[in-house]
Amino acid sequence: MRKLCTVLLASIYFVAPAQEQKKQHDKANYGLAAKFSPTKLQNLIFSTDVRPNWINHSDRFWYEYRTSTGKKWYVVDPQAKSRQVLFDNADLAAQVTKIVKNPFDAQHLALENLEFTDDEKRIRFEVKSSKDTVKNKEEIAKLKNKSDTLKKKVFYLEYDLATKQVKELDESSKEKAKPYWASLSPDTSRVFFAKNYNLYWMDKENFAKAIKDDKDSTIVEHQFTTDGVQHYAWGGDQYSTTTGGDKEDDETKKRQPVRLLWSPNGQHFVLTRKDNRHLSPLWVINNVGQQRPTLETYKYLMPGETDSTEVDMYLFNAQDLSSKKIAVNAFKNQTVGIYNKDADKSSYKGKYYISYWLGDNEEFYINRSSRDLKRIDIVSVNINGQTRSLVEERSNVYLDIKKPYFIKNGSQFIHWSQRDGWGHFYLYNKDGKLVKQLTKGEFNCNDVTGFDAATQQFTFTANGKERNEDPYYLHHYALPIAGGEPKLLNKGDFDNQVEVSESGKYFINNSSRVNSVPQSNLYSSSGQLIMKLEEADLDLLFAAGYKFPEPFKVKAGDGITDLYGVMYKPFDFDSTQVYPIVEYVYPGPQTEAVNKAFGRSMDRIDRLAQMGFIVITVGNRGGHPDRSKWYHTYGYGNLRDYGLEDKKVAAEQLANRYDFIDINRVGITGHSGGGFMSTAAMLVYPDFFKVAVSGAGNHENNIYNRWWSERHHGVAEKVSAKGDTTFSYQIEKNTELAKNLKGKLLIATGDIDNNVHPANSIRMAEALIKANKRFDFVLLPGQRHGFGNMTEYFFWKMADYFAEHLLGDSNRDQVDITEINKEQPLRR
């Protein structure tokens, strides 16, 4: 026994000095982080995917792709297995230069709004010039400064694919875009819109006038509802009302869009209406937007608050414009959604898109959800007013739902459900009778992408089915309606984004991982590779010193659940040093902040690591919905604390695995839900997390919006003996734990954030002050939830904060943020 102890002591004595020899990394590398700013990345990362533009609803498509040699345009014919350049860049540049009188060359062609003509023999596009021209009447009418009448001329050009000649077209020949407010009837004889909260229509002749001049006083409009008012409108309700400052045109006098869904024969349309006048308002003050600070008022329903009215559904007869209210109520404060038909060739009348309901001329389909989202029905609504429930989903936690996919001329539909704990497809008859479950197993199905009537098989996307892969990687599959095993159509250990042609015969597959170069390929619906299209040009990025991050897998706090993450190291990583670790977090539950594919957004992760940190992102129980229902709803009823343990144990496991991680210097940061989570981490595990930077956090979810808070945390529905239904909501708040703060905390918010109201951050500040805590606070003037044009400024404030408090080194003693100044040319 004594000999064994001696051996163990010798082993410990041998290992300890090696650990001590690692030097603590304590230098912030501002220069390396600045090398990968968003401005610089624009010239280091070019196209990373192929986005097909299907030509006249056929299988042929064109796309543009940018590399370090410039941009090229290609046309692809899948059936002929051909891919050709759309034109010779040098020849086109020379012809455009002669017409526009601005010089262009093959590498610097700037073509906008490119489209094929209907006969597919020519393409048309626009080119901006430096030539001044006078603005049109409509543009001048919108000007605040009426003397600003000049603009740069835009040339409208046409290229003949056979003769390879370019000619200028008169601007009047250009088909003007449909006004944003216009909703056309299927026969295009009438155009519908909202004004002054009511419904109007105009005929084809007057619509032509409106396209030419929106303010033409001779336009004849016909009003057909009269009782619409603000917040109880038939259409055109504004999200917010701004008062004070320079008065603009009365919004109620402007035409506004209205969402009408049409029957296929154009005889009926349907819409919903809700009385929101009783809902309490919120306010933000824009202190910097205009000469005088302006007040913005908007309706905002918070969790647990009383909602005294229900969503109403109205069916209109398109001929006489009479309407009738359809009784669809089943639950108190229910949500109602009308399904629209997926757009296809039949959805377009010329260039105009018609929005049809999902269904036929006699009935359409909706979903209705209880306020607590534990009950969701798919319902058929007949134009005679009768309704019938086709599918009823029930659960003890909140439910998700997807649009049904109809097949076999509408006699059957494919329904998505998590009723067995995983997202799977079920086949139903039109009458609501279950035929069978189509997919089964421990994987998650996502969306139906097509159905082939000839082969009687459907295609769909799913993740988690391929073993020994990251379960979040999305793949494309085919499966016969008769049953069997799904066939994998895009093999390879990658995450995939799929674009399917309207016929369903082909799909473009964009694939990558966080540690691979993105590739784009064309496949047939059977999974046959038709041709390789593109591989992203990352040469300049790598030449600048970029290195791929490293995916990893750890266990959750239960020691059982697998969590997947990504580790980002400094590109000048030194294995002889030990680095602080920073977690970038977003708790979900609607997503997780873990990249699965290569992306150009590196601001808060890759670039932060270059300051001298190991930065990680990792999932947590209660996170992404693309796993089991258990995983997704783990945090139900505990929306503050549910993900924190997993963030802590993930960092601990990585520190055990890698001796270059200093587990005594742990930082955490995030935005929105991540801002909420990073502050919560500092208060729930105050001896573990040492520094946090929290942006736009919903620190008090009782004053965040009802939809997100009640959905993911839960709301209690109570029915009295008399049958009255009420709702109550209780949730833990960050402010309740302010006394626990031990480390360094920076809170930031935009002062006109109308998503996560600034009150969240202000109340957190108040609680910390009352607890006699030192902390830091940044207010970003004139910024909403995303921080807008101050995002870069905030990044460097965050970098400073972590550098100072995790590394003991920062540039905070310098007044100028020189890293930003170097990117901006000094004009004076």
Which of 287, 298, 387, 383 lies closest to 336, judged by CA?
387
pLDDT classification of 320: cutoffs 50, 70, 90? very high
pLDDT score for 146: 59
- Nearest CA to 260 out of 196, 181, 324 is that of 181
- pLDDT band of residue 8 (cuts 50, 70, 90) is very low
pLDDT digits (tens, 9 = 90+) for 533-553: 999 999 999 999 999 999 999
Q: What is the 3-state secondary structure (H, E, C) of 180-214?
A: CCCEECCCCCEEEEEECCEEEEEEHHHHHHHHHCC
Q: Give the pLDDT confidence of 734-786 residue by residue, as tens digits.
A: 999 999 999 999 999 999 999 999 999 999 999 999 999 999 999 999 999 99
pLDDT bin (cut points 50, 70, 90) of residue 150 is: confident
pLDDT at 5: 43
pLDDT of residue 358: 98
If DSSP codes are grouped into helix, strand and coil, which group holds residue 791? helix
Residue-wise pLDDT for 646-658, tens only, equals 999 999 999 999 9
Task: Determine the average pLDDT of the residues in 347-351.
Answer: 88
Q: What is the pLDDT of residue 166?
A: 98
Q: How many CB atoms lie within 10 A of CB 4?
A: 8
Q: What was the pLDDT predicted at 759? A: 98
Of the ranges 177-186, 509-518, 590-599, the best mean pLDDT one: 509-518
Percent of the chain with pLDDT over 90: 87
For residue 141, the model assigns a pLDDT of 62
Q: Where are the alpha helices (DSSP H) in 155-307?
A: 204-212
Residue 181 pLDDT grade (very low, low, confident, very high; cuts 50, 70, 90): very high
**pLDDT (tens digit per residue) in 255-289:** 999 999 999 999 999 999 999 999 999 999 999 98
225-247 residue pLDDT tens:
999 999 999 998 877 777 654 44
Backbone φ and ψ for 629, nearest 5 degrees, come out as -65, -35
pLDDT tens for each residue of 469-516: 999 999 999 999 998 999 999 999 999 999 999 999 999 999 999 999
Task: Kindly report the CATH class assigned to 402-537.
Answer: mainly beta
Residue 143: per-residue pLDDT: 62
**What value does the mean pLDDT take over residues 324-334?**
96
Cβ atoms within 10 Å of 389's Cβ, excluding its own = 12
Which is it for the CA torsion 775, 780, 785, 788, positive or negative?
negative
**CA gap 453, 438 in Å, rounded:** 17
The boundaries of every CATH 3.40.50.1820 domain in the chain are: 20-42+541-821
Q: Closest by alpha carbon to 592, among 548, 646, 549, 638?
A: 646
Supply the pLDDT for residue 137: 66
Closest by CA position to 648, among listed 555, 720, 723, 785:
555
pLDDT at 138: 65
**Mean predicted confidence (pLDDT) in 413-432:** 98
Q: pLDDT tens, 286-313? A: 999 888 999 999 999 999 999 999 999 9
Q: Which amino acid does the sequence have at 660?
A: F
pLDDT over 70 percentage in the chain: 95
Helix, strand and coil percent figures for the chain, each rounded to 5: 20, 35, 50
Give the end-to-end CA distance of the chain in Å, rounded to a whole number. 81
pLDDT at 139: 64
- As a whole number of angstroms, the distance between CA 199 and CA 259 comes to 11
Cα–Cα distance for residue pair 501/59, rounded to 1 Å:
6
- Of the ranges 470-479, 791-800, 808-817, which one carries the lowest mean pLDDT score? 808-817
Task: Supply the pLDDT for residue 738.
Answer: 98
| Residue 142: Cβ within 10 Å count | 12
Mean pLDDT of the chain: 93
Three-class secondary structure of residue 789 per DSSP: helix
Query: What is the tens place of the pLDDT at every residue in 21-55?
Result: 789 999 999 999 999 999 999 999 999 999 999 99
Please give the Cα distance from 678 to 668 (Å, whole number). Answer: 6
Please check the confidence at residue 601 and state whether its pLDDT lies above 90: no
Q: Which string of DSSP letters, residue by residue, matches 12-49?
A: HHHHHHHHHTSEEP----HHHHHTT-HHHHTTT----S
What pLDDT is stored for residue 177 in this prediction?
Answer: 82
pLDDT over 90 (residue 57): yes
In this predicted structure, the answer to whether residue 10 has a pLDDT above a threshold of 50 is: no
Higher pLDDT residue, 711 or 135?
Answer: 711
Token code pair at residue 564: 């997947």
pLDDT of residue 357: 98
Res. 147 pLDDT band, cuts 50 70 90:
low
Is CATH 3.40.50.720 what the domain over 20-42+541-821 is classified as, yes or no?
A: no
Predicted structure pTM score: 0.93
Q: What is the mean pLDDT of residues 405-409?
A: 96
- Predicted confidence at residue 14, as pLDDT, reads 37
Q: Provide CATH 2.120.10.30 ranges for the chain.
A: 402-537
Return the SS3 of 6. helix
pLDDT higher than 70, residue 144: no
C-alpha span between 498 and 219 (Å, rounded): 45
3-state secondary structure of 692: strand
**What is the DSSP secondary structure assignment for residue 69, as one 8-state letter?**
T
pLDDT (average), residues 175-199: 93
pLDDT, tens only, 712-723: 999 999 999 998
Are 478 and 454 in contact by the 8 Å Cβ rule? The answer is: no
Q: What is the pLDDT of residue 3?
A: 43
CA dist 309 → 313, 332, 335 (Å): 13, 9, 11
Q: In degrees, to the nearest 5, what angle opens at C-alpha 56 toward C-alphas 51 and 58? A: 75
- Interval 609-625 mean pLDDT: 96
Is the model's pLDDT at 318 over the cut of 60?
yes
* Predicted local confidence at residue 468, as pLDDT: 92
Torsion sign over Cα 102, 106, 112, 115: positive
